[in-house]
Structure 1
Amino acid sequence: MSVLTHVLACLFGLGSWVTICGLWVELPLIVPQIPEGWYLPSYLSVLIQLANVGPLGVTLAHRLCPGKLNEATLIYSIVSLGAVATFLMAFFWRETVEIGGTHRSVPLFVLTFLVSAVDCTSSVTFLPFMNRLPPVYLTSYFIGEGLSGLLPALVALAQGVGVMHCVNVTTVGHASLPGNASLVPHYQPANFSTEVFFVFLMTMMLVCLGSFLLLNVLPCVPCEPPSSARKGSREHNASKAEQKFMITSASTKLHCHSRFGTGRYSWPEVAYIFFVLAWANALTNAVLPSVQAYSCLPYGNITYHWSATMAAVANPVACFIAMFFPRRSLFLMGTLTITGTAIGAYIMGVAVLSPCPLLVNDIAGSVIIVGAWVLFVLTLSYVKVIIGVILRDEGHSALVWCGAVVQFGSMVGALTMFPLVNIYSLFQSGDPCNTHCP
């Protein structure tokens, strides 16, 4: 029965971000057919963060009326809303509305906001619900959360998203002037339509809903033992845990513990954990995704597609590693965060140099940027799992704050990147067919 519970927890986590991740990997098919073009990713980032009104409301409800919010009913509601909104997106994603003489993809923006509200609210509802199950199932949930990015990427790969070749087109000149020949990208028809892809995303939301239903009603699903037993188990685990990261030097280490959760961590350590959580999510959910096209398209459309797909693979791989090596070391957390940040800085530098970044005419450039994206997502995804495991042991309220900090960090990252991309035009997209670089 534990295997069944692992599978159900994984499928439940699958619905956490599947719709938003699906939108990102489908961009090469959506962008050519809407007026916003490649500015769409930055618009999506802002819409996703505006949808944080959902988790904000849930967090305030937990704070102001503790114990009054029925999480099961809320999860049923938001997952059903996500399924309906994704289904409607299949029919209205390319529709536009004229505003001030300019056509805008208003239906796509509205439906994106709705599915974003669902996915963002999952951070402060799904994780606290998992607190009802024994800790071993939390990693299975994180694997499912990672698969919510991987499965859409694999389906998009089978769909043939973004497969293109350059076509030589000659423009007709005047009688006294010759025509000009140039290469233009020609996208091959996808194996199936964007509408079918959105129906697939809706199906994944229904799978999530069904899994949650079974987790609630099946008598074979184990529940967390009473609080006294949980306390004894936590003390046993704490006795075997690694030495925690030293916020200050050994001679000045704070021995007073906070009243947060079990009180195991001091206030500086609690602040450190939540700062790292916000920083990692700001980078992985908003800052770097906003410039992924700028960092990859100069190397070609295939490079962009593989970076998006392999980065999606890296997320569940990190969760799978965490299942066998659930390290709680705050020192390891900091080391991996610094490593992931350094890799992210390289990706950002490449995006700033677009359309002529380093090694733009060399296959090594493509290999390095794809590898950078994989390592970036792998390291920071493992950091987020470490924090999830730590906060799981600190109780229900800690997981609620975990979800709130995740969305706060993502919001700050998105609001920071939007003016840089859309107002100040700091980044320039590369042309996959006409690269004029030395």
Structure 2
Amino acid sequence: MSMFTHMLAILFGMGSWVSINGLWVELPLIVPQIPEGWYLPSYLSVLIQMANVGPLFVTLMHRFRPGALNETAVIYVIIILGTVASFLLGFFWKETVLVAGVPRSLALLVLTFFLAAVDCTSSVTFLPFMMRLQPQYLTTYFIGEGVSGLLPALVALIQGVGVVHCINTTQSLNHTINTSNSAGNYDLQAQYQPSNFSAEVFFFFLSAMMLVCLVAFLLLNHHPAAVREHPNPRYTNGTNENSQSRRTRAEQRPMMDPFRHQNHKNRSSFGTGSYSWMQVVYIFVILAWVNALSNTVLPSVQSYSCLPYGNNAYHLSATLAAVSNPLACFIAIFVSIRSLVFLGFLTVLGTGIGSYIMLMAALSPCPLLAEDTSGAAVMVLAWIFFILSLSYVKVIIGVILRDEGHSALVWCGAVVQLGSLLGAVTMFPLVSVYGLFSSGDPCNISCP
């Protein structure tokens, strides 16, 4: 193994979702300065799902025109597009234009769509590209994918985004209060602190991260240390052209679509045919489910589940959950349990923890143990183990599908996006239309 190639795989994976993840953590700084206000998260959710046209196109090309799509060229295009879009956001995110007589942040919304298209398409291009490297580098890539969420969160913490100080303000006739203290003379209110550097600088940072991803991709393709890790130097455009005699008979079978009807009754033509049709369906159902929960369903209610326990609980949950993703990938390097039964157990465990988080979000602003320190500790631990368990499942499924071939990883990326889409479609009306969740006050926890 080459540590240099491992580092390149991490940096390459980091570019997969760093732009959209960065945009989400920057929302508290962006929202007060644009006309859309807190409707912006809802708009972003819609734009991100619309951007799934990218992975849909790539998946259909692989299905109906295998080998016709130049995978390497597509990756270069989307990374460059992400770099340019992030850079332009630094200049135009506050600019507005009149649309039907109403000021709109058109540049922000359009550039966000391009960033979403880049990140969504990375799911069906970056993963299959990792077939060109030895299997152990796929797990390292997943670490980078986890860092794509962790790094923007850490930078946003340094920036001071969303940092709240609770201050006592004297009540007056012109002052509307939410919750008074027992003396009735003071109101504890949340006051957001100014950031240490601007949103423009943050967007330039995101652009730099995409540029780092581009350099890493160049080196993975051309640096001698990385090229030596290519198990098959003639692998191009998603088609394995090598005819080495060392390949097994299973590897010599033509790569078929896992869902295409075959004459085999029990075994599928999925990759090497190691799994039955029921196992294939089982793997993809789990993959869609864990991505729906961890990418869209639970993140959409994170503030509702955490803020009733205080601002510190919210920031700890968000930060440590972001750390848990790459940590799960790191654990998978040394402990890789491919048992489908074990993956099912972890999925049930993660779902159970997620159900607790969802229940507390539904009970907001007065969830269980809201005024107890143990409540905050339980919520932080719940987020850590929720992300840890489901992230491990995602990595191991990726490793399993990697062994099944290039087509399997294309379908893997497509199912990841499908699961995220279904989760977003489910949660958007519940959160943004029907308003079934109520926010807690990070400074005033007062429940009957």
The alignment's TM-score, normalised by the length of structure 2, stands at 0.87
- Cα contact 1:5–1:215 (8 A) shared by 2: yes
Q: What corresponds to 2:29 in structure 1? A: 29
String of CA shifts for 1:48-73, please: whole Å, max 9, x gaps: 12210000011111112110111111
Q: Are 1:305 and 2:315 an aligned pair?
A: yes
- Matched residues in 2 for 1:377 and 1:233: separation? 39
- Cα contact 1:43–1:418 (8 A) shared by 2: no
**1:169 alignment partner, SS class:** strand
- Cα contact 2:305–2:358 (8 A) shared by 1: yes
Q: What corresponds to 1:248 in structure 2? A: none
Q: Are 1:190 and 2:200 an aligned pair?
A: no
List gaps (5 residues or longer) in structure 1: 236-253
- Matched residues in 2 for 1:287 and 1:52: separation? 17
- Matched residues in 1 for 2:243 and 2:376: separation? 52
User: Which of 209, 212, 223 is the equivalent residue of 2:230?
Assistant: 223
String of CA shifts for 1:337-375, please: whole Å, max 9, x gaps: 001111111111111111111111122221111111111
- Matched residues in 2 for 1:373 and 1:36: separation? 30
- Cα contact 2:123–2:414 (8 A) shared by 1: yes
String of CA shifts for 1:188-226, please: whole Å, max 9, x gaps: 122222211111111110000000001111233221145
Q: What corresponds to 1:205 in structure 2? A: 210
User: Which of 256, 265, 268 is the equivalent residue of 1:258?
Assistant: 268
- Cα contact 1:261–1:394 (8 A) shared by 2: yes
**2:132 alignment partner, SS class:** coil
- Matched residues in 2 for 1:4 and 1:279: separation? 34
String of CA shifts for 1:159-180, please: whole Å, max 9, x gaps: 2222221233346538xxxx98
1:183 CA displacement: 3.4
Mean alpha-carbon deviation: is it higher for 302-311 or for 20-29?
A: 20-29
Structure 1 pair 323–74 and aligned structure 2 pair: CA distance change class (3 A): same
Q: What corresponds to 2:121 in structure 1? A: 121
Structure 1 pair 370–39 and aligned structure 2 pair: CA distance change class (3 A): farther
Q: What corresponds to 1:214 in structure 2? A: 219
Q: What corresponds to 2:65 in structure 1? A: 65
Structure 1 pair 220–433 and aligned structure 2 pair: CA distance change class (3 A): closer
Q: Are 1:136 and 2:132 an aligned pair?
A: no
Q: What corresponds to 1:112 in structure 2? A: 112
Q: Are 1:424 and 2:434 an aligned pair?
A: yes
Structure 1 pair 90–156 and aligned structure 2 pair: CA distance change class (3 A): same
**1:48 alignment partner, SS class:** helix
Q: What corresponds to 2:355 in structure 1? A: 345
Q: What corresponds to 1:250 in structure 2? A: none
Structure 1 pair 343–187 and aligned structure 2 pair: CA distance change class (3 A): same
- Matched residues in 1 for 2:200 and 2:415: separation? 34
Q: Are 1:410 and 2:415 an aligned pair?
A: no
- Matched residues in 2 for 1:13 and 1:421: separation? 31
- Cα contact 2:286–2:347 (8 A) shared by 1: yes
**1:415 alignment partner, SS class:** helix
Number of aligned residue pairs: 416
User: Which of 335, 338, 343 is the equivalent residue of 1:333?
Assistant: 343
String of CA shifts for 1:367-388, please: whole Å, max 9, x gaps: 1111111111110000000100
CA RMSD for the aligned pairs?
A: 2.2
- Cα contact 2:328–2:388 (8 A) shared by 1: yes
1:407 CA displacement: 0.3
String of CA shifts for 1:92-119, please: whole Å, max 9, x gaps: 3233445566554433222221111100
Q: What corresponds to 2:447 in structure 1? A: 437
Q: What corresponds to 2:303 in structure 1? A: 293
Structure 1 pair 380–228 and aligned structure 2 pair: CA distance change class (3 A): farther
Structure 1 pair 366–96 and aligned structure 2 pair: CA distance change class (3 A): farther
1:12-91 residue pairs with structure 2 within 5 A? 12-91=12-91
Q: What corresponds to 1:151 in structure 2? A: 151
Structure 1 pair 227–332 and aligned structure 2 pair: CA distance change class (3 A): farther
1:312 CA displacement: 0.6
Mean alpha-carbon deviation: is it higher for 215-224 or for 344-353?
A: 215-224
